[in-house]
Structure 1
Amino acid sequence: MTAMAEDHGKTWFGQPRGLTILFLTNMWELFSYYGMRTMLVYYMTKHLLFAQEKASFVYGTYTAMAYFTPIVGGVIADRYLGKRNAVILGGSIMAFGHFLMAFESMFFPALATIALGNGLFLPSLPSQINDLYAADDPRRGRAYNVYYVGLNIGGLLAPLVCGTLGELYGWHYGFGAAGIGMFLGLVIYVCGRRYLPPEPPRLRVPAAAAAAPARTDPRVWWLLLGVGLAATIFRGAYEQIGNTLPLWIDGSVDRTLGSLVVPMTWFQSLNPLLVIAMTPLLLMYWRRRADQGRESSPARRMALGALIVAAAFVLLAAVAGSAGDSRVSGLWLVAFFVVLTLGELYILPTGLGLFAKLAPPRLGATTVASWFLAIFSGSLLAGLIGTLWSKTSHAGFFLLLASLAVLAAALLWRLDRPIRSLP
């Protein structure tokens, strides 16, 4: 057995060592991304003095482009660069973009640079997870939830570090910290290359596509398109947690804790903190159901998650409607994030895993990039919906978001049987 094979056979925490490397790399990438995203609308409205509608639209357009470029980046990785080179090049470009954010005059070029680098990085990293496991390995389905915890450790640290530096000491310090996080992720990835799966053959000629198995029949792509449409609608509601929700927290939530006024950005850590705390419990619950032969199909699990998220926004609508012009207790916000996070764990990691599972061989990065296309369109939708924030009541706005989540759940429910019928 070669040294490389021995390395791949060893585990950390019962999972292949490569999962830990991918876990930590994306943890720091998400630290940089969410560190910047946490401050973005706040920075535009309070420092650059953008109107709320303009700030929401810029936010939505930026997050959309950050998830559109992976479509092109996935093809480049599969055909030309390979996944490892794409991760390194994309991460380097993103780090440069984050450092550019420290210069006010470079605001829009910095956003474009980060989105460009993300296009190479984002589809190439998670698409390596599937290659760590044999096709019949029972750990593979749960690996995406484990990986999702890693993302949210970065999301937890980002508001506490970048948000605090930006809000209390200067925005440029916060943006600089985000760049350092991206650099740390690159160092971990390069140092852990020996534990990663080997590169599959690259698709350079059409003949390679013709050699793909029959699983690539058109039904797969149509069903993934339907799931992507449902994810787009869901994201139109979900992405408000980084768009309009910070504005509501800033203006309508009582943030005092004794003599301390809790920074708004700290509340953004509640979601990833709850992801970390709740994921092990959900995994144990799902494993017990699987052992009893009662495991839910991916589409049904996603539909249930969308309904739970809808319930979270109904809760906010009720709280905002009853409060009137008074500030609401921060405990209601905590309750909202508990319900929202539970729904998120049902839908988002499951959707990513479904796309990776149905991906044709040698098109892994491209297919995973298709999942990010749904995030692109959903972020655009979220930006457009965010422009309604100043034109309607807060309760009415939250009910609109709940309606979008219910619509996504209905579509996913209808797609469940056709997906289960696939060979």
Structure 2
Amino acid sequence: MSNSLIPASERNWFGHPRGLSVLFLTEMWEMFSFFGMRAILVYYMTKHLDMGQEYASLVYGAYAAFVYFTPVFGGMVADRWLGKRNAVVIGGAAMALGHFMMSSEPLFYPALATIALGNGLFLPSLASQIEGLYRDGDVRSKSAYNIYYVGINLGGFLAPLVCGTLGESYGWHWGFAAAGFGMLLSLVIYLAGRRYLPPEPARGAAMRAARPPWNRAARDRFAFLIVIAAIVVIFRGAYEQNGNTIALWADTGIDRQLVSGWVIPMTWFQSVNSLVVFAFTPVLVARWARLARRGVETPLLGKMAFGAVIVGVSYVALGIVAAWNEAHGTRASWLWLFGWFVLFTIGELYILPVGLALFGRLAPEGFRATSIATWFFAGFFGNLLAGALGTLWSVLSHGWFFALIGAVSGVAAMLLYALSLRMGNVEHQRAATGPALPAH
């Protein structure tokens, strides 16, 4: 990391470089637009475009998968040709355009493609600027990503409340328009704060000359990450039902009446996920820190397996609730869905942020972007699997469907646990030879 960064004498905001606040707010409003559109997407397809549930689930899964696929190539384009700043601006403008295009029914599919392509340039280019804000050895950099993650979830929390409410109450197009204005605000914040961001790194031939060689150790470590990513694909097949079949059940299977004359908007439940992230992230981080001080440190793969178990249990419990209500011809209380989101999100905190940290730690030196791209590929294939599984929503009873999704997460948990037993505390195996891979 270059030391020709922001001067130490510059006045900071909240104890961190001003650039972090710029990136925080830029990402917050980008997430507001992204999750706002996603919160109403399934409802728009099934209620406004009159798509069948099976087809809508496939479209949702394909779109979500494409969103994870495009950053792989978007990051390469930014690193080699465009530069991170230009990639953020071009990508953000494309996403804003895509959100406004959603207001026109004939442009539905081009709009989805435009948003996904813009996200491919925006997502990796924005987050990768965080590290350049700090000098080598700056202890503040350790908490920078945690602060940035709060921005992601703050946007995710507000989005369903605003875009979802507008969509349900005034028309889906108003929800998409709100998402578009959120993306425009994100761009304005980024452009206004560019002077506080780190300079562009070297690109092209200069970058390739400084890169370490792709040797046997790097190949072994990268292959190990691919094994983990393949298991995460299975987990995401269950996890990504969050915005798909869970959203459908919130509409048809939940009694959302809170008081006489007022019904909880179905999109509001999507905000519970981010709310639980705010509440439980400090608790879990503090708990892990206490255990580490006592010499007890659970391997990251073990934490991921535990998270997949929690998610699996949450789906099985939801299946029992759905089966009971189907048998009695009633709708489940909204408290069951709220409780499910709490348990589900606790499981998420054990696997998704932990998995990203594992990929960052084990990334071969000089190939971190490629390793992170592998994590995005897991999201790509996982969303395709989730879309395919979602087509069973209209085939199976809701109780059996949720039980099946719980079993899918359970399979991922068993594979992660078996890999943890085989590899041990692999994040500490960072010698030149890299982690040894299981024998084939």
Q: Offset of 1:224 from its aligned partner?
A: 1.3
Q: Offset of 1:5 from its aligned partner?
A: 2.1
Measured at CA, do residues 263 and 220 of structure 1 come closer, stay the same or move farther in structure 2, by a change above 3 Å? same
Question: Which residue number corresponds to residue 153 of structure 2?
Answer: 152
Residue identity matched to 2:394: S
Question: Which residue number corresponds to residue 316 of structure 1?
Answer: 318
Paired with 1:128 and 1:353, the residues of 2 have a C-alpha distance of 17
Paired with 1:185 and 1:360, the residues of 2 have a C-alpha distance of 33
Question: Which residue number corresponds to residue 422 of structure 1?
Answer: 430
1:304-343 deviation digits (Å, cap 9, x = unpaired) = 2111111211210111122222111111111101111111
1:265-294 deviation digits (Å, cap 9, x = unpaired) = 111111111111222222222222233332
Q: Between 195-204 and 100-109, report the one with greater CA deviation.
A: 195-204
Measured at CA, do residues 394 and 140 of structure 1 come closer, stay the same or move farther in structure 2, by a change above 3 Å? farther
Q: Between 148-157 and 107-116, report the one with greater CA deviation.
A: 148-157
Q: State whether structure 2 residue 374 is matched by structure 1 residue 370.
A: yes
Q: State whether structure 2 residue 140 is matched by structure 1 residue 114.
A: no
Secondary structure in structure 1 of the residue aligned to 2:224: helix
Paired with 1:377 and 1:272, the residues of 2 have a C-alpha distance of 24
Secondary structure in structure 2 of the residue aligned to 1:257: strand
1:29-79 deviation digits (Å, cap 9, x = unpaired) = 111111111111100000000000010001001111111111111111121
Q: Offset of 1:222 from its aligned partner?
A: 0.9
CA contact (8 A) 1:79 1:202 kept: yes
Residue identity matched to 1:202: R
Measured at CA, do residues 351 and 189 of structure 1 come closer, stay the same or move farther in structure 2, by a change above 3 Å? farther
Secondary structure in structure 2 of the residue aligned to 1:85: helix
Note the residue ranges of structure 1 that are not aligned, 5 or more in a row.
none
Equivalent of 1:275 in 274, 277, 286:
277
Measured at CA, do residues 207 and 13 of structure 1 come closer, stay the same or move farther in structure 2, by a change above 3 Å? closer
- 1:305-344 matched pairs, under 5 angstroms: 305-324=307-326, 325-344=329-348
Amino-acid identity (%): 55
Note the residue ranges of structure 2 that are not aligned, 5 or more in a row.
432-440
Secondary structure in structure 1 of the residue aligned to 2:6: helix
Paired with 1:284 and 1:215, the residues of 2 have a C-alpha distance of 38
Secondary structure in structure 2 of the residue aligned to 1:233: helix
CA contact (8 A) 2:32 2:182 kept: yes
Q: Offset of 1:197 from its aligned partner?
A: 3.4
Measured at CA, do residues 147 and 299 of structure 1 come closer, stay the same or move farther in structure 2, by a change above 3 Å? farther
Residue identity matched to 1:101: M
Question: Which residue number corresponds to residue 186 of structure 2?
Answer: 185
CA contact (8 A) 1:142 1:283 kept: no
CA contact (8 A) 2:6 2:133 kept: no
Residue identity matched to 1:222: A
Q: Offset of 1:411 from its aligned partner?
A: 2.5
Question: Which residue number corresponds to residue 37 of structure 1?
Answer: 38
Q: Between 158-167 and 409-418, report the one with greater CA deviation.
A: 409-418
Q: Offset of 1:23 from its aligned partner?
A: 2.2
Measured at CA, do residues 121 and 366 of structure 1 come closer, stay the same or move farther in structure 2, by a change above 3 Å? farther
Equivalent of 2:6 in 4, 26, 46:
4
Paired with 1:231 and 1:291, the residues of 2 have a C-alpha distance of 29
Residue identity matched to 2:224: L
Paired with 1:178 and 1:24, the residues of 2 have a C-alpha distance of 15
Q: Between 267-276 and 138-147, report the one with greater CA deviation.
A: 138-147
CA contact (8 A) 1:77 1:365 kept: no
Q: State whether structure 2 residue 430 is matched by structure 1 residue 406.
A: no
Paired with 1:404 and 1:134, the residues of 2 have a C-alpha distance of 44
Measured at CA, do residues 334 and 287 of structure 1 come closer, stay the same or move farther in structure 2, by a change above 3 Å? same
Equivalent of 2:286 in 268, 284, 292:
284
Paired with 2:104 and 2:275, the residues of 1 have a C-alpha distance of 31
Q: State whether structure 2 residue 355 is matched by structure 1 residue 383.
A: no
Residue identity matched to 1:4: I
Paired with 2:23 and 2:213, the residues of 1 have a C-alpha distance of 27
- 1:146-295 matched pairs, under 5 angstroms: 146-204=147-205, 208=209, 211-212=212-213, 217-258=218-259, 259-295=261-297
Secondary structure in structure 1 of the residue aligned to 2:8: helix
Q: Between 205-214 and 232-241, report the one with greater CA deviation.
A: 205-214
Q: Between 200-209 and 250-259, report the one with greater CA deviation.
A: 200-209
Equivalent of 1:304 in 303, 306, 315:
306
Secondary structure in structure 1 of the residue aligned to 2:330: coil
Please give the TM-score of this superposition, normalised by the length of structure 1. 0.92
CA contact (8 A) 1:159 1:265 kept: yes
Measured at CA, do residues 63 and 173 of structure 1 come closer, stay the same or move farther in structure 2, by a change above 3 Å? same
CA contact (8 A) 2:212 2:365 kept: no
Measured at CA, do residues 205 and 178 of structure 1 come closer, stay the same or move farther in structure 2, by a change above 3 Å? same
CA contact (8 A) 2:5 2:134 kept: no
Q: Offset of 1:2 from its aligned partner?
A: 7.9
Secondary structure in structure 2 of the residue aligned to 1:217: helix
Measured at CA, do residues 214 and 139 of structure 1 come closer, stay the same or move farther in structure 2, by a change above 3 Å? farther
Secondary structure in structure 2 of the residue aligned to 1:4: coil
Paired with 1:112 and 1:128, the residues of 2 have a C-alpha distance of 25
CA contact (8 A) 1:274 1:341 kept: yes
Measured at CA, do residues 355 and 132 of structure 1 come closer, stay the same or move farther in structure 2, by a change above 3 Å? farther
Secondary structure in structure 1 of the residue aligned to 2:103: coil
Q: Offset of 1:205 from its aligned partner?
A: 7.5
Paired with 2:153 and 2:294, the residues of 1 have a C-alpha distance of 30
Paired with 1:138 and 1:414, the residues of 2 have a C-alpha distance of 35
